[in-house]
């Protein structure tokens, strides 16, 4: 009983602090306000916040309780005849998840780079005035190449 | 009539829907003489032509000049912003299906993006290894099935997020603005400042 109480204390406080840490970074980078500003939908900011909350909770459940979230195996046990349908749905889900998660991470990466003022400082040092758009396109191209290369050569296995 | 004092309080950012911008659209006025006040409020400040930019920056000195031309002998006190950013918007900008599509897009990006971010974070810190280690330390046996630590961590995470964002399911815990609302206002202010100073540098400000 005492031991369980101790576990609850550890887990609860770690959860509180992890949430504070992760969201302080998100709020400091200011991604969601920028999305809302770009799309001129500032009045829906509350909905976006709700989405951030539920997204994080979903991600938390999926990664902490991953052994209980094996939907494919569960479905295969229940109704083996519809497995093809499930494969299609799985691929579609991967496409949706990958696309939107990629957009978010891309924005996050550049937003963090921008928060450190690396682009303004660089442009001031080498004093270039034109071609900022070109530089940004090159950055995006570099990110695509790097990401594809990473998955293609399975760099993550070398660590 | 002579020597009446007019207090002029400009907004920083104004949206108008018509082609003509009047003084009452972009500033609040205070004057003891109601005739002068009414006359100045109806003063036309700017006209958006069909080929013009949809955005312009007007200096409050320009407003003072126009006001003094309309009512000679008044003295104007500026108490608000020195420059006003005027934007012309279409009437239907704040509704329609495009608005919903954009909203849905941002919702999807926020949802999947943060789900991915927290999973990547858990992966980075190796959360399952840490939990197994702590469980072994405290309970002196291998964790089996759903354990207390994982459940209390998830509950703690949820509580932390709700405390941080200050609302859940559309209901607020306290009356303070949420962090994203604060960041939103800061961002809008930064954009306005940048637009105004760009207009000043390029000499496009109406003075």
Closest residue in A to B101 (Cα) is A39
Specify if B205 maps to a domain.
Answer: no
State ipTM: 0.72
A132 to chain B, minimum CA–CA distance in Å? 16
Query: What DSSP assignment string belongs to B90-131?
Result: -GGGGSSHHHHHHHHHHHHHHHHHHHHHHHHHHHHHTHHHHH
Helix boundaries (H) for chain A? 2-29, 31-38, 45-64, 71-78, 83-115, 118-125, 132-152
CA A5 to chain centre: 33
A65 to chain B, minimum CA–CA distance in Å? 8
Rg (CA), chain A: 21
Percent above pLDDT 70 for chain A:
97
Residues B140, B76, single domain; the answer is no
pTM of the model: 0.71
Residues B134, B102, single domain; the answer is yes
Q: What is the mean pLDDT of residues B101-124?
A: 87
Residues B144, B56, single domain; the answer is no
Confidence of residue B2 (pLDDT cuts 50, 70, 90): low
Q: What is the mean pLDDT of residues A36-41?
A: 81
**Final residue before a domain boundary, out of B58, B93, B128:** B93
Specify if B36 maps to a domain.
Answer: yes
Residues B52, B117, single domain; the answer is no
Query: What is the reported pLDDT for A99?
Result: 92
Mean of all residue pLDDT scores within chain B: 82
Residues B114, B137, single domain; the answer is yes
Residues B103, B188, single domain; the answer is yes
Query: What is the reported pLDDT for B142?
Result: 82
Supply B122's token pair: 């858990």
Mean of all residue pLDDT scores within chain A: 82
Of residues B3 and B91, more confidently modeled = B3
Specify if B207 maps to a domain.
Answer: no
Percent above pLDDT 70 for chain B:
93
Contact status of A41 with chain B (Cβ, < 8 Å): yes
**Structural domain total, chain B:** 2
Contact status of B194 with chain A (Cβ, < 8 Å): no
Contact status of A129 with chain B (Cβ, < 8 Å): no
Specify if B206 maps to a domain.
Answer: no
Residues B196, B110, single domain; the answer is yes
Residues B12, B34, single domain; the answer is yes
Q: Using one digit for the tens of pLDDT, what is the confidence trace for B16-39?
A: 888 888 888 888 888 888 888 888
Cβ contacts of B155 on chain A, cutoff 8 Å: 11-12, 15
| Chain-chain contact of A104 with B113 (C-beta, under 8 angstroms) | yes
Contact status of A13 with chain B (Cβ, < 8 Å): yes
Residues B20, B50, single domain; the answer is yes
**Final residue before a domain boundary, out of B66, B93, B120:** B93
Contact status of B110 with chain A (Cβ, < 8 Å): yes
Domain that holds residue B66: 5-93
């Amino acid at each position: 009983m005492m031991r369980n109480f101790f576990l609850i204390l550890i887990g609860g406080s770690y959860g509180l602090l992890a949430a504070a840490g992760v969201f302080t970074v998100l709020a400091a980078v200011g991604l969601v306000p920028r999305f809302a500003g770009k799309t001129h939908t500032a009045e829906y900011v509350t909905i976006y916040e709700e989405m951030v909350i539920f997204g994080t909770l979903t991600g938390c459940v999926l990664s902490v309780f991953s052994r209980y979230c094996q939907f494919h195996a569960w479905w295969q046990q229940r109704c083996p005849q519809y497995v093809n349908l499930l494969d299609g749905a799985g691929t579609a889900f991967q496409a949706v998840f990958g696309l939107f998660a990629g957009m978010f991470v891309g924005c996050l990466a550049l937003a963090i780079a921008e928060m450190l003022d690396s682009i303004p400082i660089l442009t001031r040092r080498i004093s270039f005035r034109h071609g900022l758009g070109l530089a940004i396109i090159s950055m995006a191209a570099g990110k695509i190449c790097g990401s594809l290369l990473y998955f293609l050569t399975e760099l993550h296995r070398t660590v | 009539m002579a020597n009446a004092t007019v207090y002029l309080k400009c907004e920083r950012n104004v949206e108008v829907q018509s082609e003509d911008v009047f003084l009452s659209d972009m500033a609040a006025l205070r004057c003891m003489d109601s005739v002068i006040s009414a006359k100045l409020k109806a003063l036309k400040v700017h006209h958006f032509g069909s080929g013009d930019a949809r955005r312009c920056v007007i200096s409050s000195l320009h407003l003072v000049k126009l006001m003094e031309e309309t009512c000679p002998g008044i003295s104007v006190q500026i108490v608000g912003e020195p420059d006003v950013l005027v934007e012309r918007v279409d009437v239907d900008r704040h509704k329609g299906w495009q608005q919903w599509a954009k909203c849905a897009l941002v919702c999807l990006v926020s949802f999947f993006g943060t789900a991915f971010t927290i999973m990547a974070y858990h992966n980075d810190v190796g959360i399952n290894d840490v939990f197994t280690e702590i469980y072994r330390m405290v309970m002196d046996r291998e964790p089996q099935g759903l354990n207390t630590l994982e459940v209390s961590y998830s509950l703690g995470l949820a509580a932390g997020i709700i405390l941080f964002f200050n609302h859940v399911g559309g209901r607020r815990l306290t009356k303070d603005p949420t962090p994203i609302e604060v960041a939103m206002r800061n961002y809008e202010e930064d954009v306005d400042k940048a637009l105004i100073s760009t207009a000043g540098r390029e000499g496009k400000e109406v003075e």
